[in-house]
Structure 1
């Protein structure tokens, strides 16, 4: 689904990424973990094609969906209008909106269809941002801190959607500081430190064991 090879990126004299190699297969969920300012968001935006690396290559099977940490929504537009806009941008008919298997339905957005974005809770704004990124049925999804500051129900619904996407062979690459969410969503966790991947684990076992494995990796930061 996605492969990054020898990615280098500097801002002025500061080298943020120093030869990062990363691969995500179809139906696989990979989490990039690391301390603040480790370069996780920079790596995601390069993977999304929003930013060019100084050197290295990005290979993806089509245009990937991207969900930023802070939803980029138009305050005066309703939930329905946001989705119509994204479906139209991907040359898909609006009649697909709120079908039984549509991401926006699985995320419960039919309950908020007529609400303006500036009147939505943070959790619903996150749901809408994810649904918009999926409107074009991309081969994979990139998510920057998708579980931050969410209520339990929203987190549960997003985890369920990510599981559904994996079953449909969508690749997922995300960042997170939430060990329980990482343990529930990821197949592999990569530790980004000093501009390079310094550690990697493949999660196994029950949820409690997986959480312990994530915490052990994060402790290396």
Structure 2
């Protein structure tokens, strides 16, 4: 059923000349300057730009979540006709969920680890008053089904730690739409999703648009943006550098920065990485790996090899067993059956206490000690590799690694919680690579990065591989990224290895129907939008 409004032509959200600054150590840091846009029922406005460009800061203004250190000014900030500049915290609490739903970027941090998905959803339903207590369970199941959660009757009783990144994201989407809000803010809603599930979620957003919901989409994936957005605003360092209809901005951009974003998009027709010269010895072999969780078989006899100087790309839907296999390979958990053979790994260099296999987690914030600064996070990894060194030398190495991953060395003094999602991901990559490992397992390492920084990180990863011969297991739902970095590709579905071989062969001439389905579901700029605006 479509939502009805008294004035269909009036914007549900109106922003004029919005500026946001933060007080840090007695000084004001400008995060957003002069942002203006409006969203009508059934319309989608997308904010795109690099990490730190002000996209998420702008979104948090629309739900009153920028914190006490934020200084917000605007000529107008109206939510469904209400002046949001005059709202106090109590009024914001009554507005969130009912008027504005918010899908946060970091699903693991956003969900309570001590509550099941069902308990999380039922609290959201209760807060919006959209069901009686007797109806809460049925309503929670309905929301999970609407968000395309597989086996919702089982997942509703599970905790966030039991779900893959994609399943956690779907639980967040279900929570955000619990109160049927007329405005929905989606901050990187498909970041953790494989292409087939991403296609389903985009179809869900298209359906919400047709029902009259106003959608504010924040995404670094311009293929996703092209599927949903009616209007696109390109932000750089807190300012809008290009603004216009989606078709115009994405197909005929006028600003050099927008054109650079377009050029950085990884594509399936990109050239494959250079193949390691000579015979590539096997550094690790996983043989007939099986894993069972509470009677559910997560891996079903999987065999893979990691070779010196080569990258194995691992793809498949959320819940297919990718992360489970990666954790077994890295020695972070044991398999129910099967063996890991890594006898050919060389002994660590003198003074090094670093493990020869390093892991880059999908959720970087959860992998950091929140008490540590970025500098201490990296210094601890460098200590494992080089031992105790003078503070000046350690600081120099930290600065070098921050520079390598495209970060300002001044960020060493900040804590990870104060960084954007993309900045945190880069710190996580730097920490793993700084120990000079022989094998690196990367679980969605660039999923939170905008395309320009993503390109920089992928180039860094491949350059390091050429220099050191490090072997990599690279998990990504983005097949363009997989093509850019992988020499070989393994395709998992429901814990079963469906296809395995040379990357060019698998991605250009797939033999398995499931692989062909994944390739067909990849969003790209040439695809037609899912839904037109409801005017």
Report the TM-score range of the alignment, normalised by the length of the smaller protein: 0.7 to 0.9
How well do the aligned residues superpose, as a CA RMSD in angstroms? 2.6
CA contact 1:8–1:55 (8 Å) conserved in 2: yes
Which residue does 2:190 correspond to in 1? 147
Give 1:108 shift. Answer: 2.7
Change (3 A) 1:211 1:54: closer
Identify which of 217, 242, 245 aligns with 1:202: 245
Q: Unpaired runs of 5+ in structure 1?
A: none
Partner secondary structure for residue 52 of structure 2:
coil
Distance in 2 between the 1:98 and 1:158 partners? 21
Q: Unpaired runs of 5+ in structure 2?
A: 1-11, 81-94, 262-535
Partner secondary structure for residue 54 of structure 1:
strand
Distance in 2 between the 1:45 and 1:53 partners? 13
CA contact 2:242–2:258 (8 Å) conserved in 1: no
Distance in 2 between the 1:64 and 1:197 partners? 23
CA contact 1:179–1:215 (8 Å) conserved in 2: no
Which residue does 1:83 correspond to in 2? 121
Which residue does 1:175 correspond to in 2? 218
Which residue does 2:100 correspond to in 1? 64
Q: Which TM-score applies when normalising by structure 1?
A: 0.87
In terms of mean alpha carbon deviation, does 93-102 or 176-185 score higher?
Answer: 93-102
Paired residues, what number?
A: 217
Which residue does 1:126 correspond to in 2? 169
* CA deviation string 1:165-187 (max 9, x = no partner): 00110000011111211111111
CA contact 2:101–2:184 (8 Å) conserved in 1: yes
Partner secondary structure for residue 184 of structure 2:
strand
Distance in 1 between the 2:142 and 2:199 partners? 17
CA contact 1:46–1:53 (8 Å) conserved in 2: no
Partner secondary structure for residue 197 of structure 1:
strand
In terms of mean alpha carbon deviation, does 45-54 or 177-186 score higher?
Answer: 45-54
* CA deviation string 1:135-164 (max 9, x = no partner): 111111011111213211221121011001
CA contact 1:4–1:47 (8 Å) conserved in 2: no
Distance in 2 between the 1:13 and 1:45 partners? 18
CA contact 1:7–1:17 (8 Å) conserved in 2: yes
1:104 and 2:144 correspond:
yes
Give 1:107 shift. Answer: 1.7
Partner secondary structure for residue 234 of structure 2:
strand
Distance in 2 between the 1:101 and 1:143 partners? 21
In terms of mean alpha carbon deviation, does 177-186 or 192-201 score higher?
Answer: 192-201
Distance in 2 between the 1:143 and 1:60 partners? 16
Change (3 A) 1:98 1:185: farther
Change (3 A) 1:100 1:131: closer
